Amino acid sequence: MAQPIKVVVTGAAGQIAYSLIYHIAHGDVFGADQPVILHLLDIPFMMGVLEGVVMEIQDLALPLVRGVVPTADVSVGFNDVDAAFMVGAMPRKQGMERKDLLSANVKIFKDQGQALDKYAKKSVLVVVVGNPANTNAYICSKYAPSIPKSSFSAMTHLDQNRAQALLAQRLGVPVGNVSNVIIWGNHSPTMLPDATHAQVQTDAGLVPVPKLVNNDSWLKNEFVPTVQNRGAAVIAARKMSSAMSAAKAAGDHMRALWQGTPPGKFVSLGVISDGSYGAPKDVMFSFPCTVKDRVWKIVPNLSIDDFAKSKLAVTGKELSEEKEEALSVCQD
């Protein structure tokens, strides 16, 4: 069996982590033969709750767990880690705007970026889950200059999963039969869920989703806003933000980075933009990506219609504005 890897989860006493830790510890993320040492980081106030989480991990009796390190000290939490789930952040509550989250959370990610830079392995893979995820990922990477920017990514896999599930429901097929749904841009209501290049596995082979849906109006006027606003809908119903589905998506995201994407399939990742598809450069923008040997590449040369171009411009503008606001907050 492989040597254990060290995996840190921030906000480890919180709701998302409560589900995510099981996925990691069970082998769903890094592989069924990959032992892990869990570094569970949270604020001092949450150490009592975290003690209960540690008890539950022990009681799971999972063979891949080779150690658990609960801590409020970043020098311990980030020490020599191979992978990082940056979950800890102020959660979005009903009626909250993203800009309210931004000012509260970017300073957290500045501090944690500096801690990653100082204590983590330079090969660490970092997935930012705490919102606003794209801009938090940008700030985290900016303040960890010795770690490659390509090692940081923002989670838009939750939006991809939501889009994939909605299409499967519409078409009456198993959700696993739907692939290559794209999330473009920001993890916010400006994102573009795009089914243009999505496929469904049928008895007759792979069939394009637009052909099967056969309703362009539904794809633009119902599918897009439903996915864009799903997070708010969950909060309205649950009175709390998405947790179980966010945890699953964080695991999906890291699994794609760690284990790669299957041939012919791609995954949506919020990664540092090189200007592909007209996106602004040097923001964390969600693109369709393939991953091999823990290196992601943006899928090139996909056709983009005028509807998509207009949506990409909107979400790109939002990301540029968020970035500038975040940088000003960090300099205060």
Which residues make beta-bridge pairs with 86?
Answer: 128
**What percent of the chain is predicted at pLDDT more than 70?**
97
Instruction: Please indicate if the annotation marks 105 as binding a ligand.
Output: yes
Q: What is the pLDDT of residues 13-34, one digit of tens each?
A: 999 999 999 999 999 999 999 9
Per the CB < 8 A criterion, the answer to whether 223 and 182 are in contact is no
Residue ranges per structural domain of the chain:
5-154, 156-325
Catalytic annotation present for 253: no
Instruction: Please indicate if the annotation marks 52 as binding a ligand.
Output: no
**Tokens 């060290």, located at residue:** 6
3-state DSSP assignment of residue 34: coil
Q: Rounded mean pLDDT of 85-109? A: 79
pLDDT of 42 higher than 80: yes
What local confidence, expressed as pLDDT, does residue 101 receive?
74
Instruction: Please indicate if the annotation marks 42 as binding a ligand.
Output: yes
Q: Rounded mean pLDDT of 120-125? A: 98
Instruction: Please indicate if the annotation marks 301 as binding a ligand.
Output: no
Q: Rounded mean pLDDT of 165-186? A: 98
Measure the CA–CA gap between 1 and 255, rounded to whole angstroms.
18
Token pair in block for residue 314:
């909107």
Instruction: Please indicate if the annotation marks 316 as binding a ligand.
Output: no
Q: What does CATH list as the number for 156-325?
A: 3.90.110.10
Instruction: Please indicate if the annotation marks 170 as binding a ligand.
Output: no
Which of 23, 39, 157, 187 is catalytic? The answer is 187
Band of the pLDDT at 329, cuts 50, 70, 90? confident
In this structure, CATH architecture of domain 5-154 = 3-Layer(aba) Sandwich (3.40)
Q: What is the pLDDT of residues 197-236, one digit of tens each?
A: 999 999 989 999 999 999 999 999 999 999 999 998 998 9
Measure the CA–CA gap between 47 and 286, rounded to whole angstroms.
34
Residues near 192 by beta carbon (within 8 Å), at least 6 away in sequence: 182, 183, 184, 185, 224, 308, 311, 312, 315
What local confidence, expressed as pLDDT, does residue 106 receive?
86
pLDDT of 46 higher than 90: yes
Q: What is the total residue count of the chain?
A: 332
Do the first three CATH levels of 5-154 and 156-325 match, i.e. the same topology? no
Alpha helix (H) residue ranges in 144-303 = 157-171, 209-213, 216-218, 224-228, 230-238, 244-259
What local confidence, expressed as pLDDT, does residue 94 receive?
64
Q: Which region among 17-26, 98-107, 260-269, 287-296 has the lowest average model confidence (pLDDT)?
A: 98-107
| CA angle (276, 211, 156) in 5-degree steps | 40
What local confidence, expressed as pLDDT, does residue 95 receive?
67
CA 209 to chain centre: 24
Q: CB atoms < 10 A from the CB of 331, how many? A: 7
What local confidence, expressed as pLDDT, does residue 255 receive?
98
**Residue 231 phi, psi dihedral angles, 5° rounding:** -60, -45
What local confidence, expressed as pLDDT, does residue 289 receive?
98
**What percent of the chain is predicted at pLDDT more than 90?**
90
